[in-house]
Amino acid sequence: MQIRPGGAELYSDYLSVTEQTEIVEAIRTCTQRAPLYTPTMPRTGKSMSVRMTNFGKLGWMSDQKGYRYQAEHPTTGESWPTIPDAILNIWRDLLPDQPEPDACLINYYSETARMSLHQDRDEQDFSVPVLSISLGDTALFRLGGTKRGGKTQSFKLRSGDVMLLKGEDRLAYHGIDRIYPGTSSLLKQGGRINITLRKAL
Ligand code: MD6
Ligand code: FE
C-alpha cells in the first residue's frame, strides 16, 4: 500500500467490480447534465488528449486563460452535479479525519490519450491529500519527485485501484504515459476513467 517513504499510497484492487460498476453508472447519470468536454492548454490553446468534466462545488478547468477552479461547466454554464455518494464514500473510508472534498475531476482517456507530467497545485491547502480512482483500461503511471526533471518511477494503475498523494508526495510530479487498450471490460466503449477528489478551498 505505501509506495515509497514520500507518502504516496496505492490501494490495489480497492474496489470490487460491483462497486466499480456502480460508480460508472453514477458518472453516466451525472455526465448527462455535465457532458465531457475537451480542455485546452494555457497560452497555446492546444487541445488535451483527455476529455474532462467535474462534480462537486468546484471544477478544475484548463483553457487558454490558465488553470483554475470554477463553479460552472464551461459549455453549459450550469453548476456541476453533486459528487455521487459511491465516490465520496471512498474518501470517507480512507481519509476520515480530512475535510470533505469540494472538487471531483473526471478524466476520460481514449486508447491514445496521455497526461503529461504535472503537479496538482491549484488547491489552497497542500496538507489535504489528493485521492485518485482508476476505472477501465490499465494505465502506465509515472511518479517523480517535487522537482521537475528528477528521478521517476513507473507503475501500472488497474481498474479498481485507488491512489493517494499525500505528505511530501502531495506535490510530486506525475502523469500517464500510456493506456493499455483492451485490458478491462468495465467500460463498454473501452478506454479509462480517472477520478480525482480534492479539497480546492
Ligand atoms: C490519472 N492522475 O491517473 C491522472 N493527480 O489519469 C492524476 O493526475 C493525479 O492520479 C493527483 C493525484 C493523483 C493522481
Ligand atoms: Fe494530477
Tens digits of per-residue pLDDT, 112-125? 999 999 999 999 99
Q: What angle do CA 98, 156, 63 make, to 5 degrees?
A: 65
Q: Find the 174 Cα to ligand 2 centroid distance in Å.
A: 6
- Distance CA(190)–CA(149), nearest Å, equals 32
pLDDT at 191: 98
> Is residue 93 in a domain?
yes
Report which bound ligand comes closest to the CA of 131. Answer: 1
Give the CATH number, domain containing residue 58. 2.60.120.590
> Is residue 3 in a domain?
no
> Is residue 1 in a domain?
no
Q: Is the pLDDT of residue 60 over 90?
A: yes
> Is residue 150 in a domain?
yes
> Is residue 130 in a domain?
yes
Indicate which atom in ligand 1 lies nearest the CA of residue 141.
3
Q: Is the pLDDT of residue 18 over 90?
A: yes
Tens digits of per-residue pLDDT, 131-162? 999 999 999 999 999 999 999 999 999 999 99
Q: Is the pLDDT of residue 15 over 90?
A: yes
> Is residue 4 in a domain?
no
Cβ within 8 Å of residue 11, ≥6 positions away: 1, 94, 161, 162, 163, 164
| 197: amino acid identity, one letter | L
Of 196, 134, 143, 151, give the one whose Cα is nearest residue 172.
143
> Is residue 107 in a domain?
yes
> Is residue 2 in a domain?
no
Q: What angle do CA 164, 167, 168 make, to 5 degrees?
A: 110
Cβ-based burial of 164 (10 A; exposed 0-12, middle 13-18, buried ≥19): buried
Domains contained in the chain, number: 1
Give residue 121's domain range: 9-198
Ligand 1 site residues, Cβ closer than 6 angstroms: 107, 115, 120, 130, 132, 141, 163, 165, 174, 176, 194, 196
